[in-house]
């Protein structure tokens, strides 16, 4: 018991800690509770977004699970911001910043209060990697709970339907009344965006890492299964404390390779690259962009999921979620079955009794008939991105694109050009000064890509940025260009009319300029003034690393 309480005992044991006990009595501690392991419940519950509006209820269930397993729970909150609401506005600069704030705040509360373990519950995109980064940093017994996916709206709509309807309205393909009807029916209630966008991608990745209980990634937000998952997580942390199992026992290199493999098979978001690099950094596990290319060469895309495909997460849940897919990958030798998970068993043991998908389902393809034989997450290098860039090439877009640059300083300028109809087939839209430092915060370009798709140009236009993309983006889109423009990367030197070639097969992105011409342009280049001079954005810009390293702020 002493080992199980090695953090909380410092706070509550002994004569000198009487003041601590006095304060804890006021928040509900009985005398016997001081002898129990303490489990923090980190909730991202908030009214600011449907992704998180139900999570405080899940936190109550997790607390009940911990208490009934013999621990003493304490619930606390951290922040969330909504990507979907802030998208296309200056507020989106805070999205990636919130990942760091969430990790910092969970670490701060758990460390200050002396919790022996904790449950972290996340819903929107940055909650999940933020929670996982805190788990890795603190290295105390802990379990992640995904808040769950939203159900489809009318006519199987989701938030991407609304973004694309904006582009369709600009092109006069739909009326104001039709746009309003889409807006009013796309979001029916609580839960994270319903395709294989960033939230569902990261939930799946974290389950593959071994940090959440089986099926946590594939449950509807409003369901008995999700509440039971939360309850079980609280109980699981109590068991992990008793057994002394910590994230450092789980987060090995092979676990990250499992997560990458599952993300690829599910045709997941490019944000998984950024976030897995950041979680690995927090865990002290070496992981680079090249690992995504190495693993991706042998892993096929199997899931016909939105945005590039047809199906919603709730439909994948109906046929069994991601566990049968993971069993298929394990049996094919594509997953490391010996990795420990928060169940206290290995991944192979967790998957041993998983049954196949039902016959006739159309969502997950067999290994012999993949959507794409290798990864859709393509890491590109070249004279435009010496440190790398990340593309989501599903095969629907083609594998090569050559076009003429149209350069925009910032997302707003690019969006205005698209909405005005000044983007044409053959253009490569370059959106720069949106990187981790230059943005700051590396805004997602969902509004521009959705407007392009809404105008019917997704097959004929490419978009290149030092920012990033929502998991809902699709088309010929390349983000995470590094070095970023603010640091004087080659993307800062491109001019209108330059020829840019993107070659997914050769994994290259190049601008048709000689080294000498790039050097001449660099001599003339002057960095812009920082977007923010003080506050959290300025602090973030001073600390953040390159996107090629995960855009982390703690080294």
* Nearest Cα to Cα of residue 213 among 345, 316, 119, 342: 342
Could you give phi then psi for residue 207, rounded to 5 degrees? -65, -40
Count CB neighbours of 16 within 10 A. Answer: 7
- Whole-number CA gyration radius for the chain: 23
d(CA 10, CA 493): 56
User: First-to-last CA distance in the chain?
Assistant: 35
Count the alpha carbons within 13 Å of 511 in the hemisphere toward its beta carbon: 29
Q: b or e along 524-535 (b: 16 or more beta carbons within 10 Å of the residue's beta carbon)?
A: eeeeeeebbeee
58 is written with which tokens? Answer: 């899940």
* Nearest Cα to Cα of residue 394 among 362, 372, 420: 372
Q: Which of 192, 470, 545, 548 is catalytic?
A: 470
Count the alpha carbons within 13 Å of 483 in the hemisphere toward its beta carbon: 8
Pairing of strands 385-392, 508-511: unpaired
d(CA 531, CA 90): 10
d(CA 338, CA 471): 30
- Is residue 422 part of the annotated active site? The answer reads no
Q: Which sequence positions are flagged as catalytic?
A: 470
């Amino acid at each position: 018991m002493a080992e199980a309480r090695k953090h909380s005992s410092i706070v509550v044991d002994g004569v000198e800690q009487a003041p601590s006990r006095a304060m804890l009595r006021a928040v509900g501690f009985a005398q016997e509770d001081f002898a129990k392991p303490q489990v923090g419940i980190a909730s991202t519950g908030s009214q600011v977004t449907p992704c998180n509006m139900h999570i405080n209820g899940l936190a109550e269930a997790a607390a009940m699970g911990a208490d009934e397993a013999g621990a003493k729970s304490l619930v606390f909150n951290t922040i969330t911001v909504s990507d979907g609401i802030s998208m296309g506005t200056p507020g989106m600069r805070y999205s990636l910043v919130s990942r760091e704030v969430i990790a910092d705040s969970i670490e701060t509360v758990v460390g200050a209060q002396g919790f022996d373990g904790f449950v972290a519950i996340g819903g929107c995109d940055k909650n999940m990697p933020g929670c996982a980064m805190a788990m890795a940093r603190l290295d105390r017994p802990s379990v992640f709970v995904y808040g769950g996916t939203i159900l489809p709206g009318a006519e199987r709509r989701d938030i991407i339907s609304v973004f694309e309807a904006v582009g369709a309205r600009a092109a006069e393909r739909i009326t104001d009344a039709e746009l309003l009807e889409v807006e009013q029916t796309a979001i029916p209630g609580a839960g994270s965006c319903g395709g294989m966008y960033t939230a569902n991608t990261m939930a799946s990745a974290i389950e593959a890492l071994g940090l959440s209980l089986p099926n946590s990634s594939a449950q509807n937000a409003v369901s008995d299964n999700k509440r039971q998952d939360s309850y079980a997580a609280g109980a699981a942390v109590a068991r992990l404390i008793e057994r002394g199992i910590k994230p450092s026992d789980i987060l090995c290199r092979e676990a990250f390779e499992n997560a990458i493999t599952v993300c690829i098979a599910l045709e997941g978001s490019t944000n998984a690259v950024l976030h897995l690099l950041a979680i690995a950094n927090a865990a002290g596990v070496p992981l680079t962009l090249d690992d995504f290319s190495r693993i991706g060469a042998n892993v096929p895309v199997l899931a016909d999921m939105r945005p590039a495909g047809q199906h919603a997460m709730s439909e994948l849940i109906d046929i069994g979620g991601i566990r049968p897919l993971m069993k298929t990958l394990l049996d094919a030798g594509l997953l490391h079955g010996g990795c420990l998970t928060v169940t206290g068993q290995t991944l192979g043991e967790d998957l041993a009794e998983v049954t196949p998908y039902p016959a006739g389902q159309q969502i997950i393809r067999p290994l012999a008939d993949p959507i794409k034989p290798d990864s859709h997450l393509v890491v590109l290098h070249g004279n435009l991105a010496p440190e790398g860039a990340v593309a989501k090439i599903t095969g629907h877009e083609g594998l090569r694109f050559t076009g003429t640059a149209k350069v925009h300083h910032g997302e707003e300028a690019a969006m205005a050009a698209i909405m005005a109809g000044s983007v044409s087939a053959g253009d490569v839209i370059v959106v720069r000064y949106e990187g981790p430092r230059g943005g700051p915060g590396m805004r997602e370009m969902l509004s521009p890509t959705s407007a392009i798709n809404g105008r019917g140009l997704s097959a004929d236009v490419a978009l290149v940025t030092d920012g990033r993309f929502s998991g809902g983006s699709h088309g010929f889109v390349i983000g995470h260009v590094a070095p970023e423009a603010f640091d004087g990367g080659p993307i800062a030197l491109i001019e209108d009319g330059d020829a840019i070639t993107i070659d997914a097969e050769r994994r290259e992105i190049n601008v048709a300029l000689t080294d000498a011409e790039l050097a001449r342009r660099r001599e003339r280049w002057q960095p812009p003034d920082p977007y923010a001079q003080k506050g959290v954005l300025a602090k973030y810009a001073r600390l953040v690393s390159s996107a090629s390293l995960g855009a982390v702020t703690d080294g």
